[in-house]
């Protein structure tokens, strides 16, 4: 059986368990008299949905690519390119390696103009691993889809160009952001967050002489995860084209407007590694970037003691076998409630983090930045909100955990903030920035 190869091509799909061993010959050639329509660039947006770059399991040599195409797509071609746009390799992916995705179809939602509607979302979902790649190198890629329309014409559409950088540098940096609850009727939420990403990037260029390398989000990036149009609009923003984004499932990403819940909304919106535990594959996952092992959790599966035990068993297994110098665990919910300092998820995880020598625990959700002292081996940090709308009232006196909490910050109900993470062979440094790129807090974890 002939293998379709991009570079030792491996399919890592959140929606499909198919293999790329599918023969290329299964894509039938068009009839000789078929009319071919090569769409102009500005007409192609409706042929690609939620294109995004995600981490591969080992980011020195792998990156995952995720996208949706029209239901009548016959095949796609992925072009891997260098930073200048010259094609290095290409792969032809028949529709049989994608899944017909319907999890968002018919969900009650809202349009950008405020009109109520039901999502019409039946599409082919591709997830694909680019591998092997060279370490510490900038790449770009684009995707071309081929489909037949109702008139029997072959339609060729080409996506925008997307960019990423592999791990492997002696030092690197990332933007950390969360809680921007993208909601098309209130576009200021998304624009505030995207502006904050660019603010962090400008700060990185000033401080380091180069832009950051990727983005880590800690959940609640859309208001209703069941609204496919929300994901699609968000992924068209420039920062999603310029960087790899590693993210996790927040409570808003996990819900619909009518309070139905499913981890499939996050799973089918991206293409993260499928190395999570049973039922959480493509939602919980782990990856390495440089000398850091990242473990990404789904709080929505940990509401019960049984769910928490499953998650902790998996985390223990991942971290005990890790050879990475630093270990970072990420979840959406907060470690402490920022307004008073009372304990939240810290009490559920601190013993395990001590046992597994976790260096950094990242959380979000509470919309108030909180950083702990180093507690045994671990520093606990939770991000502020970034949408300039959903914040909390100004924080008061610290009532609890005065011995554990080192710093808190928010701007009140309208908060915008994010962090720059810098890492090298000996340390991780986190810097909190406000919307004006003012440094508010920083912490360094050394080994």
Which structural domain, as residue segments, surrounds residue 442? Answer: 172-446
Q: Find all residues with CB under 8 Å of 321, minimum gap 6, and list them.
A: none
pLDDT digits (tens, 9 = 90+) for 258-289: 999 999 999 999 999 999 999 999 999 999 99
Distance CA 110, CA 230 (A): 9
Distances (CA, A) of 212 to 120, 202, 354, 418, 422: 36, 9, 30, 13, 9
Distance CA 427, CA 326 (A): 9
Mean pLDDT of 20-30: 47
Distance CA 426, CA 422 (A): 11
pLDDT digits (tens, 9 = 90+) for 243-252: 999 999 999 9
Residue indicated by tokens 């200021």: 188
**Residue 66 lies inside a defined structural domain of this protein:** no
Residue 205 has pLDDT above 60, yes or no: yes
Q: The pTM is what?
A: 0.93
Distances (CA, A) of 219 to 87, 115, 124, 163, 209: 34, 26, 25, 22, 29
| pLDDT band, residue 15 (cuts 50/70/90) | very low
Distance CA 38, CA 56 (A): 32
Strand segments, DSSP code E, in 358-416 are 360-363, 369-375, 378-382, 405-409
Taken as a whole, the chain contains a residue count of: 447
**Residue 400 lies inside a defined structural domain of this protein:** yes
> What is the count of structural domains for the chain?
1
**Residue 16 lies inside a defined structural domain of this protein:** no
The phi, psi pair for 353, rounded to 5°, reads: -65, -40
**Residue 19 lies inside a defined structural domain of this protein:** no
CATH number at residue 246: 3.60.21.10
Residue 4 has pLDDT above 80, yes or no: no
**Residue 280 lies inside a defined structural domain of this protein:** yes
pLDDT digits (tens, 9 = 90+) for 155-182: 999 999 999 999 999 999 999 999 999 9
**Residue 110 lies inside a defined structural domain of this protein:** no
**Residue 133 lies inside a defined structural domain of this protein:** no
**Residue 212 lies inside a defined structural domain of this protein:** yes
DSSP H or E run through 175: strand 172-177
């Amino acid at each position: 059986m002939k293998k379709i190869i991009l570079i030792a091509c491996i399919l890592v799909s959140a929606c499909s368990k198919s293999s790329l061993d599918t023969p290329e010959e299964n894509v039938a050639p068009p009839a000789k008299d078929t009319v071919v329509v090569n769409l102009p660039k500005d007409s192609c947006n409706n042929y690609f949905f939620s294109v995004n770059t995600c981490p591969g399991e080992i980011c020195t040599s792998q990156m995952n690519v995720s996208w949706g195409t029209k239901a009548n797509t016959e095949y796609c071609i992925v072009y891997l390119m260098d930073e200048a746009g010259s094609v290095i390799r290409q792969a032809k992916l028949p529709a049989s390696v994608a899944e017909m995705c319907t999890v968002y179809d018919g969900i009650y939602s809202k349009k950008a103009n405020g009109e109520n509607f039901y999502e019409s979302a039946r599409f082919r979902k591709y997830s694909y691993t680019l591998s092997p790649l060279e370490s510490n190198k900038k790449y770009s890629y684009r995707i071309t889809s081929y489909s037949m329309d109702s008139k029997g014409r072959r339609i060729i559409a080409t996506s925008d160009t997307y960019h990423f950088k592999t791990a492997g540098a002696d030092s690197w940096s990332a933007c950390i952001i969360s809680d921007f609850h993208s909601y098309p009727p209130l576009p200021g939420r998304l624009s505030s967050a995207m502006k904050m990403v660019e603010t962090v990037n400008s700060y990185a260029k000033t401080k380091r002489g180069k832009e950051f390398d990727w983005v880590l989000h800690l959940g609640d990036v859309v208001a209703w995860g069941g609204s496919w149009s929300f994901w699609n609009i968000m992924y068209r923003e420039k920062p999603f084209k310029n960087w790899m984004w590693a993210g996790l499932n927040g409570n808003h990403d996990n819900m619909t407007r009518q309070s139905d819940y499913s981890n499939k909304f996050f799973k089918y919106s991206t293409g993260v590694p499928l190395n999570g535990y049973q039922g959480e594959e493509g939602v919980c996952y782990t990856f390495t970037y440089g000398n850091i092992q990242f473990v990404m959790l789904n709080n929505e599966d940990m509401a019960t003691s049984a769910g928490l035990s499953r998650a902790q068993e998996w985390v223990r297994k991942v971290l005990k076998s890790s050879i990475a110098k630093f270990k970072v665990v990420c979840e959406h919910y907060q470690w402490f409630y920022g307004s008073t300092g009372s304990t939240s998820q810290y009490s559920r995880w601190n013993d395990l983090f001590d046992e597994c020598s976790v260096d950094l625990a990242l959380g979000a959700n509470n919309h108030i930045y909180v950083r702990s002292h180093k507690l045994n081996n671990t520093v606990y940090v939770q991000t502020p909100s970034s949408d300039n709308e959903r914040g909390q009232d100004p924080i008061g006196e610290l009532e609890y955990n005065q011995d554990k909490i080192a710093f808190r910050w928010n701007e009140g109900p309208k908060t915008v903030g994010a962090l720059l993470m810098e890492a090298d062979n000996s340390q991780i440094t986190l810097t909190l920035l406000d919307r004006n790129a003012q440094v508010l807090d920083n912490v360094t974890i050394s080994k």
